[in-house]
Amino acid sequence: MRVRARWIALMVGAVLVAFGVVLAVQHRSEPSVPRLVQEHAAVPDFSVTSLDGRKIDAASLRGKAYVVNFFNSWCIPCRQEAPALQAFYDEHKGDRDFAMVGIVRQDEEDAVRGYVSAEKLTWPVALRGGDQASLDFGTVGQPETFVVSPDGVLVCGASGPSTQAALDTWLLAARTGRQCG
């Protein structure tokens, strides 16, 4: 009887291990950066309000190549990409055909204001309307970055921290109508 119980236990264990192996092999994780997000689709008709009370929407940005970056104050990868975003913004903020907006969702206003101040972020950051904009863009996490052409088409985008080099490449693609790689 003991031998039979051991064989049953071994068989159940083998089945569970086999099931675990099948699940592990079938598991597909999302690719990391760069993952093009909704490439070549029209930009959603979003509307947000910046921390300084300014309304920012797709219509007001039309005619410019622009970057939309979704982030949170508590997000570690967001903190990692902040210096690259700031350097990129500093490089292009004087360009007449350029704009950039950071959109925050599911965060506290005081925490966002503290983060913006601590990181010395100078591009417009919006909190009000961020939840709906996040849904409109189809975000799945933070950070996510989208680059939009002057005619309102999503050209490039990625989940995960962006680099200044990637942002420069994406902006050039948006301005020239080229494909992102």
pLDDT, tens digit, 9 for 90 and up, residues 94-113 = 999 999 999 998 899 999 99
Overall domain count for the chain: 2
Dist CA 160 CA 141 (whole Å): 8
Calculate the dihedral angle through the C-alpha atoms of 150, 152, 155, 157, rounding to the nearest 10 degrees: 110
Tell me: do 57 and 130 sit in the same domain: yes
Tell me: do 90 and 20 sit in the same domain: no
Residue 112 belongs to a domain: yes
pLDDT tens-digit map of 134-178 = 999 989 889 999 999 999 999 988 899 999 999 999 999 999 988
pLDDT of residue 39: 62
Q: Tell me the residue range of the domain where 10 lies.
A: 1-30
For residue 5, give the amino acid letter. Answer: A
Tell me: do 15 and 94 sit in the same domain: no
Q: Which two tokens stand for residue 140?
A: 């799945």
Residue 146 belongs to a domain: yes
Q: Give pTM, 2 decimals.
A: 0.78
Q: Is the pLDDT of residue 34 over 50?
A: no
Tell me: do 1 and 68 sit in the same domain: no
pLDDT of residue 31: 36
Asked if residue 50 lies in contact with residue 126, where contact means CB atoms within 8 angstroms, the answer is: yes
Residue 39 belongs to a domain: no
pLDDT of residue 48: 97
Tell me: do 56 and 16 sit in the same domain: no
pLDDT of residue 12: 58
Domain CATH number, residue 89: 3.40.30.10
The rounded mean pLDDT for the chain is: 85
pLDDT of residue 105: 87
Tell me: do 16 and 83 sit in the same domain: no
Which of 53, 158, 45, 59 shows the shortest CA–CA distance to 99?
59
Q: Is the pLDDT of residue 41 over 90?
A: no
Tell me: do 80 and 138 sit in the same domain: yes
Residue 41 belongs to a domain: no
